[in-house]
Amino acid sequence: MTEAVPFGQKRVVFRLIVAGGGTGGHVFPALTTVRALRAQFADSAALEVLWVGQAGGLEEGVARAEGIEFAAVATGKLRRDRHLLKMINRANITDMGRVPVGVAQAVRLVSRFRPNVVLTTGGYVSVPVGVGARVRRVPLVVHEQTVRLGLANRVLARVAAKVAVSSDSSVALLPRAARAVVTGNPVRPEILHGHADKAIDALGVRGFNRDLPTVYVTGGAQGSVQINTVVRDLLPWLLARANVIHQCGSSSIDHLRHHAATLAPDQAARYLVTEFIGPELADVLALTDVVISRSGAGTLAELTALGKAAVLIPLASSAGNEQAHNALVLAEAGAAVALLGEVSAQTLRGAVEPLLANSEHRASIAEQARLRGRPDAAERLAQVVRSAAR
Split at pLDDT 50, 70, 90, the class of 3 is very low
| Average pLDDT rounded to a whole number, residues 52-77 | 93
| Average pLDDT rounded to a whole number, residues 34-54 | 95
> Among 11-15, 72-76, 209-213, 270-274, which stretch is predicted with the lowest mean pLDDT?
72-76
pTM as predicted: 0.90
> Among 9-18, 207-216, 217-226, 352-361, which stretch is predicted with the lowest mean pLDDT?
9-18
Q: How far is CA 5 from CA 13, 209, 250, 307, in A?
A: 12, 55, 51, 39
- Report the distance separating Cα 91 and Cα 339, nearest Å: 34
Residue 76 has pLDDT above 90, yes or no: no
Q: Is residue 299 a contact partner of residue 336, using CB atoms and an 8 Å limit? A: no
Residue 122 has pLDDT above 80, yes or no: yes
Domain chopping of the chain, boundaries: 12-186+376-388, 190-371
| Average pLDDT rounded to a whole number, residues 275-292 | 97
**Percent of the chain having pLDDT more than 90?**
82
Nearest to 219 by CA among 147, 323, 144: 323
Residue 7 has pLDDT above 70, yes or no: no
The β-bridge partners of 243 are 214
Interval 171-190: pLDDT, tens: 998 987 789 999 999 999 99
| Average pLDDT rounded to a whole number, residues 311-329 | 89
- Report the distance separating Cα 16 and Cα 49, nearest Å: 5
Q: Is residue 183 a contact partner of residue 384, using CB atoms and an 8 Å limit? A: yes
> Among 46-50, 122-126, 308-312, which stretch is predicted with the lowest mean pLDDT?
122-126
3-state secondary structure 257-319: HHHHCCCCHHHHCCEEEECCCCCCHHHHHHHCCEEEECCCHHHHHHHHHHCCEEEECCCCCCH
Residue 79 has pLDDT above 60, yes or no: no
The architecture (CATH level 2) of 12-186+376-388 comes to: 3-Layer(aba) Sandwich (3.40)
| Average pLDDT rounded to a whole number, residues 186-195 | 96
Superfamily of domain 190-371: Glycogen Phosphorylase B; (3.40.50.2000)
Q: In the prediction, which pLDDT does 211 show?
A: 97
Residue 246 buriedness (CB in 10 A; 0-12 / 13-18 / 19+): buried
Interval 228-249: pLDDT, tens: 999 999 999 999 999 999 999 9
- Of 221 and 342, which is predicted with more confidence? 342
Same fold, 12-186+376-388 and 190-371: yes
Interval 337-386: pLDDT, tens: 999 989 999 999 999 999 999 999 999 999 999 999 999 999 999 999 99
The β-bridge partners of 180 are 163
